[in-house]
């Protein structure tokens, strides 16, 4: 399978990369891990004149913890996220998502930015990021903006990004107090699987045995973008956690899902599985919240 011809640029700073993207716009594509872009280019689905590698931009290769935020650079790989103590401690759902993305070989290449900008409805990292209120920093020559991931996805493969923008990092505010998250993926096999359904949940408690201060539930692969299960979240907020409450919230999440029938699974099955997985994810998130 031959790659089409293209020009290759390897800028060493974000501003240099933005300058190239600003000049070439749709004709150029940023390259991070390549596990999506290279495949799509081989399949002739994306045919850029120019590929702009982000690998030589130092700032984008690191996870930095500062001022109560975790800043994950665009080129940080799924394997690096899975191995990060900072991620594991504060963002358990994200660590879980990173551990089930692709295969061990893919995880050594695939990056957080790639998993977000590709805008796939079944992607593993966006639901986990969304329950923590993650924001994507988008840079271009005229400056940068931070977009809440809840407002980022517009449809399969579609996002709010402009052709001259580069996702440079993901910002995560480290949650305080008794809180925990969980991410569960369902597929028909364990590796190299596109989720049939995935669910991320986050619970913050008023105090260790107290009512729920904040709850977030995000459903993947059951709509054109990852979906916030807002009716489940409303139902949980202010209540004391219990199995019965989680069962009701999971039913509400299933009602929020907008699954379709396809060759991987029926809409009916997917909706049922949202119910099952949401309950499990909430239970795990609560376990983590009370043990923190």
Partner 1 sequence: MKKLIRLNINEKDYEIAVKPNQTLADVIRYEIGLTGTKKGCEVGECGSCTVILDGKPVNSCLVLAVQADGKNILTIEGLETEQGLHPIQKAFIEKGAVQCGFCTSGMILSAKSLLERNPDADEKEIREAISGNLCRCTGYQKIVEAIASVKDQRSVS
In the complex with partner 1, which residue's Cβ is closer, 79 or 218? 79
Residue 263, number of CB atoms within 10 A of its CB: 5
143: exposed, middle or buried (Cβ count in 10 Å: 0-12, 13-18, 19+): exposed
Q: Whole-number minimum distance, CB 2 to partner 1, in Å?
A: 7
Task: Answer yes or no whether residue 34 interacts with partner 1 by CB under 8 A.
Answer: yes
Shortest distance (Å) from residue 112 CB to partner 1: 17
Using CB under 8 A as the binding rule, whether residue 61 contacts partner 1 is answered as: no
Our finding on whether 58 is near partner 1 (CB under 8 A) is: no
The correct pick among 22, 102, 175, 265 for binding partner 1 (CB under 8 A) is 102
Sole window of 19-27, 38-46, 122-130, 147-155 interacting with partner 1 (rule: CB under 8 A): 38-46
Residue of 41, 34, 111 lying closest to 79 (CA atoms): 111
C-beta of 290: minimal distance to partner 1 in Å?
28
Radius of gyration, alpha carbons of the chain: 19
In the complex with partner 1, which residue's Cβ is closer, 80 or 275?
80
Answer yes or no whether residue 104 interacts with partner 1 by CB under 8 A: yes
64 binds partner 1 (CB under 8 A): no
Judged by CB under 8 A, the stretch of 5-13, 229-237, 239-247, 248-256 that binds partner 1 is: 5-13
195 makes contact with partner 1 (CB under 8 A) = no
| 109 binding partner 1? (CB under 8 A) | yes
Output phi, psi for 122, to 5 deg.
Answer: -100, 5
Among 51, 75, 122, 201, binds partner 1 (CB under 8 A): 51
Stretch that binds partner 1, among 96-104, 116-124, 214-222, 240-248 (CB under 8 A): 96-104
Does 42 interact with partner 1 (rule: CB under 8 A)?
A: yes
Pick from 45, 105, 146, 260: which binds partner 1 (CB under 8 A)? 105
Task: Answer yes or no whether residue 142 interacts with partner 1 by CB under 8 A.
Answer: no
HEC string for the chain: CCCCCCEEECCCCHHHHHHHHHHHHHHEEEECCCCCHHHHHHCCCCCCCEEEECCCCHHHHCEEEECCEEEEECCCEHHHHHHCHHHHHHCHHHHHHHHHCCCHHHHCCCEHHHHHHCCCCCCCHHHHHHHCCCEEEEEECCEEEEEEHHHCEEECCEECCCCCCEEEEEEEECCCCCEEEEEEEECCCCCCCCCCEEEEEEEEECCCCCCEEEEEEEEECCCCCCEECHHHHHHHCCCCCCHHHHHHHHHHHHHHCCCCCECCECHHHHHHHHHHHHHHHHHHHHHHHHCC
Q: Is 163 in the site for partner 1 (CB under 8 A)?
A: no
Q: Is 53 in the site for partner 1 (CB under 8 A)?
A: yes
3 is an interface residue for partner 1 by CB under 8 A: yes
Strands 28-31, 50-53: pairing is parallel
Binder among 191, 208, 230, 240 for partner 1 (CB under 8 A) = 191
Give the binding site for partner 1 (CB under 8 A): 1-8, 10, 31, 33-35, 38-39, 42-43, 51, 53, 55, 79, 102-106, 108-109, 190-192
């Amino acid at each position: 399978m031959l790659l089409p011809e293209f020009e290759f640029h390897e800028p060493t700073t974000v501003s240099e990369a933005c300058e190239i993207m600003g000049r070439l716009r749709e004709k150029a594509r940023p390259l991070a891990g390549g596990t999506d872009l290279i495949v799509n280019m081989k399949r002739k689905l994306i045919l850029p004149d120019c590929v702009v590698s982000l690998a030589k931009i130092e700032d984008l290769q690191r996870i930095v913890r500062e001022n109560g935020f975790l800043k994950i650079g665009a080129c940080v790989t799924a394997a690096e996220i899975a191995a990060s103590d900072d991620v594991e401690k504060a963002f358990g759902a994200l660590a879980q998502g990173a551990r089930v993305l692709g295969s061990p070989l893919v995880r050594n290449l695939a990056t957080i930015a790639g998993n977000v900008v590709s805008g796939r409805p079944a992607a593993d990292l966006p639901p986990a990021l969304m329950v923590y209120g993650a924001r994507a920093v988008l840079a271009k020559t005229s400056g940068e903006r931070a977009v809440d991931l809840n407002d980022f996805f517009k449809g399969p493969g579609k996002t709010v990004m402009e052709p001259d923008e580069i996702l440079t990092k993901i910002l995560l505010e480290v949650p305080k107090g008794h809180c925990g998250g969980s991410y569960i993926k369902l597929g028909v096999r364990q590796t190299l699987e596109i989720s049939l359904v995935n669910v991320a949940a986050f619970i913050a408690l008023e105090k260790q045995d107290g009512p729920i201060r904040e709850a977030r539930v995000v459903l993947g692969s059951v709509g054109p973008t990852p979906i916030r299960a807002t009716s489940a979240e409303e139902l949980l907020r202010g209540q004391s956690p219990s199995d019965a409450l989680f069962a009701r919230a999971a039913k509400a999440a299933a009602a929020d899902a907008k699954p379709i029938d396809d060759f991987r699974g029926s809409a009916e099955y997917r909706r049922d599985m949202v119910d099952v997985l949401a309950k499990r994810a909430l239970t795990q998130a609560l376990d983590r919240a009370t043990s923190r």
